[in-house]
Structures are given as C-alpha cells and as structure tokens.
Structure 1
Amino acid sequence: MPDVAYDLIEFAENPLTIIYSDAKNLAENAINSDGTIGIRITKHPFCKELIQRFRKPIISTSANLSGQPTSHNFSQIPQIIKDGVDYIVQLEQDNHQVKKPSTIMKLEANGAFAFIRK
C-alpha cells in the first residue's frame, strides 16, 4: 500500500473508497477482472464495531447495480440486491435521509491518484 494511502485515510472528511491496483492475498471473487480491489474506509460506529469484533475486513456488495444510480438510503436499494445478500442488518432502514455516497479514488503503487467520484 503506498504511503500516501495512510494520509488519504487519516484526513478524509467524507466516506472514502480507495481502489488499489494489483490486489493480492484476497478472495478471488473480491478482486475485479482488471486486478483492482475497492476498499471502503468506514467511520460509521456500527461498522467499526462489527469489524473490530470480527477482527478482519468485511466483504460487501455495492447498494446499486453497476451503471445504475446510487442508492441514497435503504428504501432505494434494488430488491434484486436485497434478495441476493446473506444478511441485512436491521439498522436505519426507516431512515429516509439522503446519504452522500463515498468519495472514490484510484491509487497507483507509485502514489499517483485520481478521483473517480468526488
């Protein structure tokens, strides 16, 4: 992981997803066909607690289908996604507040980065 990644994570003010190239030592179905992996850095208290208790990362799908609009709250998540997951946490499902999607950055091994979504 390039050193700049630690700074990006530490100083991020909004939810952040970093796309890394040349993913290694991860489940094959978590790695994109181009060898990249997207890792979301969460600051949500429930998610942080869950990860801490598992003592390992959690793999999750996006809450939208590729090429489709972003889901801004639980009620906007397509039913096909809800039907295709192993478990849905019973948390904030009645909250219809529009949530801002994460910033997405692609980070190269040399430290160069580009914004995919701000």
Structure 2
Amino acid sequence: MQNLIDTLKSGGTILYPTDTIWGIGCDATNIDAINKIFEIKKREKNKSMIILVESEKRLQDLVEVPEMAWEIMDLSEKPVTIVYDNPKGLPKELLADDGSIGIRLIKDNYLKKLIGKLNKPLVSTSANLSGDKSPLKFSDINQEIINSVDAVAEENHEKISEYSGSSVIRLWKDGRVKVLRE
C-alpha cells in the first residue's frame, strides 16, 4: 500500500480495488493527475468523476451535507455515491457542468487506510476505457489501462466485486432527491 500512497502524493495515478469495482485514482486536489486520468480513459473532459472520502469530517470539509444524505448513507446496504452542490476546495476539472460533485463516504477498511494516509480525497473512476464494461475483477482490466497508470495495487486481485457500481443519488439544497443509478 505504501507504493500507492507515495505515487498519489507525488501526483501519480493508481489502479486499485474500490468498495465496488476496480478504479483508477489520484489525489483529488491535483489537476495534472486528474487530467492524466481523462487521458488514460480516453474520456471527454466534460464527464465528471467521483471522489472517495474516508471520514465524515473530510466529507463535511468538502460539502454541506444535508440531513437526508446522512439518512441515505445509513440506510443504504450497497455503496452509495451522493451528488452534492457547491463543493469547497476541489478543482473545477473534477466537477460536473453544474458545479456539483459525486462523493462516496466509504466503509471499506482498505480504502479508509489508503485515503487516511493520503490525507486528501481520492478520485475514483472505473478502470476501463470510456465506453467499455466496468471491471468486476482485476483480470477484466484492459492491459492498456494497467500499462498507463503509475502504480497498481497488489491487494485483492482474485476478488470479484459484489457490486458493478455504487448507487448514485443527486441531492439539491432545496430538498429535491433524484436516483441517478440504482
């Protein structure tokens, strides 16, 4: 894990198992690293990416968390990404056109340790070329992706993900809620 942390801190990109599928990640405050992920995935820059945080405090440092968000996170059995308005301290390159950002407060211990040691939010986007199927296990990942990142996690290569992605729920300041992905 230390090689992943060193890579992230030096502005590199990593391939790692998330609480859902395998992901490509970087320090969510590093614009150059974020742009590199867009290049690796051959993804249009107007498609936003989500970030992972390991603690309620880090989440609250980034966004104003409505009561409804806490309830959704508590009740959800599968990992849930919530899209919030007006994040603080994140580069515009990460945000959707409307200025929102998807953030997942993770429960997975491996990720909590990784993000905690990085001490910054972590970008998470599926480890596939744009338009390809999301990788449920390491062996599903395109070799081009593996060759493009700066470091690859050594953990969980045999594990098959229980989830093909997180639920995604959009919350607005005025209390509106919309499920974007079950």
TM-score higher than 0.5? yes
Q: CA deviation at 1:81?
A: 3.3
Matched, 1:106 2:170: yes
**What's the secondary structure of 1:105's corresponding residue?**
strand
Aligned partner of 1:28 in structure 2 is 92
Mapping of residues 84-95 of structure 1, within 5 Å: 84-95=148-159
Matched length? 117
What residue ranges of structure 2 are gaps of 5+ in the alignment? Answer: 1-63
8 Å contact from structure 2 (residues 81, 166) kept in 1: yes
Report the identity percentage. Answer: 34
Q: Of residues 44, 53, 56 in structure 1, which corresponds to 2:120?
A: 56
Task: Summarize deviations over 1:11-61 as a string: whole Å, max 9, x none.
Answer: 221111112233332022221233221112211110011222333321233
Q: In structure 2, how many angstroms separate the alpha carbons of the residues matched to 1:99 and 1:114?
A: 24
How much is the aligned-residue C-alpha RMSD, in angstroms? 2.2
Which amino acid in structure 2 is aligned with residue 23 of structure 1?
A: P
Q: Is the alpha carbon distance of 1:63 and 1:113 closer, same or farther for their aligned partners in structure 2, counting shifts above 3 Å?
A: farther
Aligned partner of 2:136 in structure 1 is 72
Aligned partner of 2:146 in structure 1 is 82
Q: Is the alpha carbon distance of 1:4 and 1:116 closer, same or farther for their aligned partners in structure 2, counting shifts above 3 Å?
A: same
What residue ranges of structure 1 are gaps of 5+ in the alignment? Answer: none
8 Å contact from structure 2 (residues 92, 99) kept in 1: no
Q: Is the alpha carbon distance of 1:21 and 1:69 closer, same or farther for their aligned partners in structure 2, counting shifts above 3 Å?
A: farther
Going by fraction, where is strand more abundant, 1 or 2? 2
> TM-score, normalized by length of structure 1?
0.79
Going by fraction, where is helix more abundant, 1 or 2? 2
Q: In structure 2, how many angstroms separate the alpha carbons of the residues matched to 1:11 and 1:115?
A: 15
**What's the secondary structure of 2:102's corresponding residue?**
strand
> TM-score, normalized by length of structure 2?
0.55
Q: CA deviation at 1:66?
A: 4.2
